Amino acid sequence: MTPELQQVHAIFLVEAEEQLATLERELLALERSPGPEVLRAVFRTVHTFKGGAASVGHPEAAELAHTLEDLLTLVETRAVVLHAGLGSLLLQAVDALRERVGLSATGDSTLSLPAAEVQDLLANLVKAARPVGGAPLERAPEPPAPTEPESPAAPEQAPEHTLRVGLSRLDRMLDLTGEIAIARGRLATMLSQAHRYTPQQLLEAHHEGDRLHLDLQELVMKVRMVPIGRTLQPFARAVRDLALRLEKQVRWEVSGEDVEVDTTVAELLRDPLTHLVRNAVDHGLETPERRRARGKAPTGTLSVRAFHEAGTLVIQVADDGAGLDRERILSRARAVGLLGAEAPSDDDTLLRLILEPGFSTAAHVTELSGRGVGLDVVKRNVEALRGTLQVESTPGQGTTFHLRLPLTLSIIEGFSVAVGNETYVIPLEHVHECVELPDAERQPGRTGMIQLRGTALPYLRLREHFGLGGGPPARESLVVIGQGRGQAGLAVDALLGQGQTVIKPLGTFCQGLPGLSGSTLLGDGRVALILDVPALLQQTVKSPNPAASA
């Protein structure tokens, strides 16, 4: 394939992914409420996909789409009745089309069939539904297949992630780039003739360039923002397939699809949401018989709500199922040694036990999920995104998971501290307060404990934790950090203040070191390390006897 055809094929794959996601959504809508308008939309999508597949050299995908059109024609003329089984076959046809063009399926893998088998099932259904001696179904003309010139085989390249951006935003970025270039030129001219200007005039010229740069930075961040609905859309199919497989009735509701989030955050959210949705359908919602016995409607509701709050993205995954069994959680926690004889005094602590690694209250852990199995993965993934996860549950009424996440992973508000000659950045959202370390604690050691307004607070010395060597200064400061209900202190030499921090990935040498999540460049060109607060908290708070290691 020539480089030009490779580019054409890459564009086709991006469009095909969107078309098939649309087709999946339209088929689910057709299944919920059959109607001519929805059916015509399905036809249009299938036909558009068929034309594109044939034009870039996917004749098998085009033929499968063609057979799907024949079947949809029979549904339109009511020669074939649309029932749950046929709905499943139509959705499997979407997976088969993905397979034919080299895309990944989104449905339940246990329900999917090979593309060739789906093609045969569709063709047999079309053949069986046609009247004997009837005229063949009218087919739309096939677009001509391109003739590909022979060329040396090119190495395969990984598909490039793409993002569609509004032209107005690109125009504004171009304008800002030009304005920054002018500001730079003006500042360079003024500096070369510095004797003609006052320091105040030079500083104002610098501030003007700085303002334009911040405008461009904000615009670039907005360009990366995508509606969260694109991430949530595939779950409609997953919920439908899981419910069918488990013989449950589930109503899928989504609100806040237009809420925007950084494309990287949206991509990394997919796995945690998959675990939560599977858990809710598998273990949260009851079967229709059990719901009726409890006086509830046979159809359960699984809803996802997304919204912005205080500069963060909040996603709530809620089901109206049986809720979490507190007695079973207590019993299981004692059995695996997570709790002693005394029960936690508050609900929050008790319910968070289901987020512990390997903890499960399910009598039988299925291949789909167990209530607790996989939730530690959710917690870990959410914390890796610098987010938090909370659980609420009411017996008999359901369970809600609250995910609170940053809107972007590229830039954070950070609080800088110094230890020896090194600078570390703490994400500002985790900084509660700064206090002076008491004189009695000014002795070398990794960890310790102080009394902060009558409450014991464990703390960790960054100097010893990172093995920096040297002695502490005469006065040390303690930065109180926290996440959720966990709180601890970090002993540092000096407090440098807050500011915006551009996150860079860690180099190979630093990857895997405990307590570090990234790096950044300081204004003087030095590298500062960004602290992984959840990891440091876990190490400090869970230390059985902090003073012992001092």
Task: Output the DSSP codes for 265-297.
Answer: HHHHTHHHHHHHHHHIIIIISPPHHHHHHTT--
pLDDT at 108: 63
pLDDT at 200: 93
Sign of the Cα pseudo-torsion (117, 122, 126, 129, in order):
positive
pLDDT at 418: 94
Question: Is residue 298's pLDDT more than 90?
Answer: yes
The whole-model pTM stands at: 0.70
pLDDT at 75: 86
Overall average pLDDT of the 346-370 stretch: 64
* Cβ-based neighbours of 250, under 8 Å, separated by 6 or more: 239, 240, 242, 243, 281, 285, 299, 300, 301, 302
Beta-carbon count within 10 A of 189 CB: 12
d(CA 154, CA 502): 37
* Cβ-based neighbours of 245, under 8 Å, separated by 6 or more: 108, 110, 111
pLDDT at 548: 42
Overall average pLDDT of the 201-218 stretch: 90
**195 burial class (0-12, 13-18, 19+ CB within 10 angstroms)?**
exposed
Question: Is residue 550's pLDDT more than 50?
Answer: no
Question: Is residue 441's pLDDT more than 80?
Answer: no
Q: Residue 402 — very low, low, confident or very high, per pLDDT cuts 50/70/90?
A: very high
Q: What is the pLDDT of residues 499-519, one digit of tens each?
A: 878 877 776 666 667 788 788
| Contact yes or no for 61/53 (Cβ under 8 A) | yes
Strand ranges inside 359-410, DSSP E: 388-394, 398-406
Q: What is the pLDDT of residues 57-116, one digit of tens each?
A: 899 999 999 999 888 888 888 888 888 788 888 999 999 999 998 887 766 666 677 888
Strand ranges inside 420-526, DSSP E: 422-427, 431-436, 447-452, 455-461, 477-483, 486-492, 494-502, 516-521
Between 38-42, 59-63, 140-144, the lowest mean confidence (pLDDT) is in 140-144
Which of 501, 500, 502, 529 lies closest to 517 in space, CA to CA?
A: 529
d(CA 153, CA 394): 61
pLDDT at 132: 54
Q: Residue 351 — very low, low, confident or very high, per pLDDT cuts 50/70/90?
A: confident
Q: Please report where in the chains the tokens 């009424």 appear, as a residue.
A: 397
Beta-carbon count within 10 A of 110 CB: 10
Which of 394, 387, 357, 393 lies closest to 372 in space, CA to CA?
A: 357
Q: How far is CA 372 from the centre of its chain?
A: 20
